[in-house]
Structure 1
Amino acid sequence: MNHSLAVFLISASVRAVLATYEAGDDAPRTMFKTFNENIKVDDYVIVPTTTRHKMTVVKVVEVDAEPDFDSHHDFDWIVGVVDRASFEEIERQEAAAIEKVKSAERRKKRDELGAALATDEAALKELKALPLATHGEPIEPPAPSPE
């Protein structure tokens, strides 16, 4: 008997989960053990490994699999679940913030160019005469501030 699977005979709560280290439908599947009832297909979970920091991430492809008690392979426990939802939300917020910063930088550069051109009427007139200046928002000098 495979002693790393004895827990399946001791506790009805343990689950066998199949996961892959590589992407693709043909990727080899590796079985892991867990008590976590919430793990589902397509989750990313942390598992022990013999490389790097002794842990890596795999993708769950099947839950509640049937363990092979005659197998000679040791089955490891799942360390935890990767919280991708929180990670993706942080990335979304960062992308939105970066877009706001870029927009403000573009606006500032346009205002600076407009202010520089305001002191050179001839250059402003020549710039406005260029065909590319007739597309989109024209560059205008800033309105004089009321004093």
Structure 2
Amino acid sequence: MLSKSIIDYFKLFLVYLQVVVQSLIANITLFLISKKLGGFNDSIVTPRGQSINLLGIITPTVIYPIFGVLVFIFLVKFTSKSLKYFKIAGYGFLLIAFAGPLGLENALLSDKIILEIMHLIVGVQFIEFVSCSYGKIVLESNQTPKSDKVKKPQTVNL
């Protein structure tokens, strides 16, 4: 069953952009501080056989929220309780994402904790920003986005 809600894609993009920029700043800062203090050495290898570097922090921070946007759009289009289901799905995926850093071989506990914090920064921030902006992003079918409203010229009676 299709929902009659309308998504303001521009506002959704602005939320995505805000989350990504803030998450990049936080995650890059955490990574560089940890690296400077002796963390994230080259012996830490991901399951794909790569060492953790700055690009390995930036890429997921930018890419994974795109999947969140797609899930959000799908839920708004096909469910009536999209926000509730979005939060459940978002926090569920976040719990699953915790398994990744915990399985890293040769990683210090501090490195695993920093990676878990990075997951929390991106995940919780995205879920909560979308939740707080829900009323501006999702409109009922009888509403129109403010960006689409055109002011009519006022006439002056003399």
Q: Quickly name the TM-score band, shorter chain normalised.
A: under 0.3
The structure, 1 or 2, with the larger RCO (C-alpha pairs under 8 Å, 6+ apart) is: 2
The structure in which a higher percent of residues are strand is: 1
The structure in which a higher percent of residues are helix is: 2
Give the TM-score of the pair, scaled to structure 1.
0.24
